[in-house]
Structure 1
Amino acid sequence: MNEQTNEIGQRLDVDSDILRVFSVLSAGGIAICPNRVGYGIWGGSPAALERIYRQKGRGPHKRNALITDEAGQREIHDLDPRRQAMVECVTVDHDLPMGVIAKYHRDHPLLQKVDPELLRASTADGTIGMLLNGGRIHSAIGKLSREALHPVFGSSANLSGTGTKFRLEDVQPEIRAIADIELNYGLRPCHLYQRSSTIINFEDMTVVRMGSCYELIADALKRHFNVDLPVDQGRDVNPSGHLQEFRLRDFTEESPV
């Protein structure tokens, strides 16, 4: 039997970590941070995001996700009331993480600060994607970014095509090597899914990726809005969950937004 003591272990200092991460990002650096669906790598400048893109070996069809909070999503996305209600039903009422793609307000002050080439690499057909309800750190950085009008974009912290990493130790060394700061918060809550976030394009209600919490998201949309999403055939059939991964054209061939 292990000896028990009254020694107090070290707790996380989440608020301080948030400030340290945003200090790095606002200076144009790179951060690896935990969210509910794995570890992400975020950049606070076009140069940082270009370095992430090259280091990961991402394909040209891949898009950066805007890091923002619930208020930012409501301000930036241009959704009708019913579809905005769907988003909030899933991410607020049911407290589920979800990637949302939708048309956006191009005149939003935060997006006005985005370098045009970076915006092209992060949008397609007039839409932009963002993870919502990604966790305390993700939401806090999104809020600070919105308030400071300092855009932050990100993607999963991994070599492209190798799957989301749910422990910092599983992120490849060459990815960790380019980070100016990293936070180790241990195993992430959605690790049992072994997929990244579920992503839905709310312009036409197509599923881009069946990811974490997909069955819960599908159930909520069916019960509250009578929306039918396709059935997940499982990881044996579709390990990554992608259904529309190559729908986006090479951004180098797109006209500027």
Structure 2
Amino acid sequence: MSKQTNKIAQRLDIDGDIERVFSVLHAGGIAICPNTVGYGIWGGSSEALERIYRTKERGPHKRNALITDEIGQREIHDLEPHKQAMIECVTVDHDLPMGVIAKYRKEHPLLQKVDPDLLRASTAEGTIGMLLNGGKIHSTIGRLSREALHPVFGSSANLTGTGTKFRLEDIQPEIRAIADIEIDYGLRRYHLYQRSSTIINFTDLTVVRMGSCYDLISDVLKRHFKVELPPDPGRNANPSGHQREFQLRDFAEESVS
């Protein structure tokens, strides 16, 4: 399969790009796509995700994120109503991107299609993570994946530990080389944060990563729900924003022992 790229024109062909990306993913391939919080690399099969994992040189404690939409998140995550309201207040009412981790419903038809080894590599202690409000391509691919019952997982398009890339040309050549299609929409919206998405574990409302829009998300949760998140020490003190970067290391080692 020869690599596909979108043409830089006066207008974006978003619908056409979505169709081409999903065709690649549905065939089990690899796509590099723009999100609001940077560029992501997604795989449409266990083999594709294993190739991404090896190329990125990811540690065993790293987890894939499920690519889905708002409906998929509500169906898959098993949350109390007030916590679901928090998520929707941030991502729908205030239109902010956010990574969400929560307990999941194992019986969901989409998850029933996931290879057991891939599911183990994408979950931890009964939780699964996903990015919400990542942009039109992200949410539409998530919807198509859910409707077709064809799971898609992904992560940031970079070598592990090198930071999120906000332009396609900043992604390392070895990462770009494994993609069957790449979509270039230029500099991403939240590049000024110089971090990937904020991630919150809604099982206990702990911050996993202080990322893009963390200040805005913190304000929303405090004003609407009286939930006070810890202050961000800043990029000089914590460039990646990770609070629990190696939390899953022991879990991962136990899983393979």
- TM-score of the superposed pair, with normalisation by structure 2: 0.95
Distance in 1 between residues matched to 2:160 and 2:137, nearest whole Å:
23
- Is structure 2 residue 58 aligned with structure 1 residue 58? yes
Tell me how far apart the structure 2 counterparts of residues 236 and 172 of structure 1 sit (CA, whole Å). 24
Residues 189-248 of structure 1 deviation map (CA, whole Å, 9 limit, x = unaligned):
000000000000000000000000000000000000000100001000000000011111
* Match of residue 82 from structure 2: 82
Tell me the distance in 2 between the aligned counterparts of 1:97 and 1:14.
Answer: 19
Give the Cα–Cα distance (whole angstroms) in 1 for the partners of residues 77 and 246 of structure 2. Answer: 23
Structure 1 residue 103: deviation in Å? 0.1
Query: What residue identity is the alignment partner of 1:163?
Result: G
Correspondence for 2:173:
173
* Secondary structure at 2:48 match in 1: helix
Q: How far, CA to CA, are the matches of 1:183 and 1:157 in structure 2?
A: 12
Aligned partner of 1:254 in structure 2 is 255
> Would you say 1:20 and 2:23 are equivalent positions?
no
For 2:217 and 2:11, locate their aligned partners in 1 and report how far apart those are by CA, in whole Å.
32
Q: Distance in 2 between matches of 1:154 and 1:251?
A: 18
Deviation of residue 55 (structure 1)? 0.1
Q: What is residue 151 of structure 1 aligned with on the other side?
A: 151
Offset of residue 251 of structure 1? 2.9
- CA drift of 1:252 comes to 5.2
Equivalent position of 2:4 in the other structure: none
Structure 1 residue runs of 4 or more that deviate by more than 4 Å after TM superposition: none
Q: What SS is found at the alignment partner of 2:243?
A: coil
Q: Is the 8 Å Cα contact of residues 120 and 251 (structure 1) preserved in structure 2?
A: no
Q: How does 1:1-257 map to 2 (within 5 A)?
A: 10-249=10-249, 250-251=251-252, 253-254=254-255
Name the amino acid aligned to 1:225: F
Tell me the secondary structure at the aligned position of residue 19 of structure 2: helix
Equivalents in 2 of 1:109, 1:252: separation in Å? 29
**In 2: Cα distance, 1:223 partner to 1:155 partner:** 31
Measured in 1, the distance between the counterparts of 2:230 and 2:101 equals: 17
Determine if contact 1:18/1:140 at 8 Å carries over to the other structure: yes
Name the aligned partner's letter for residue 53 of structure 2. Y
Matched position secondary structure for 1:121: helix
More displaced stretch, 243-252 vs 32-41: 243-252
SS in 2 for 1:254: helix
Name the aligned partner's letter for residue 245 of structure 1.
Answer: E
The one-letter code matched in structure 2 to 1:253 is E
Amino acid at match of 1:101: I
Give unmatched runs, 5+ long, in structure 2. 1-8
Structure 1 stretches lacking a partner, 5+ long: 1-8
In structure 2, C-alpha distance between the alignment counterparts of 1:128 and 1:59, rounded to whole Å: 17
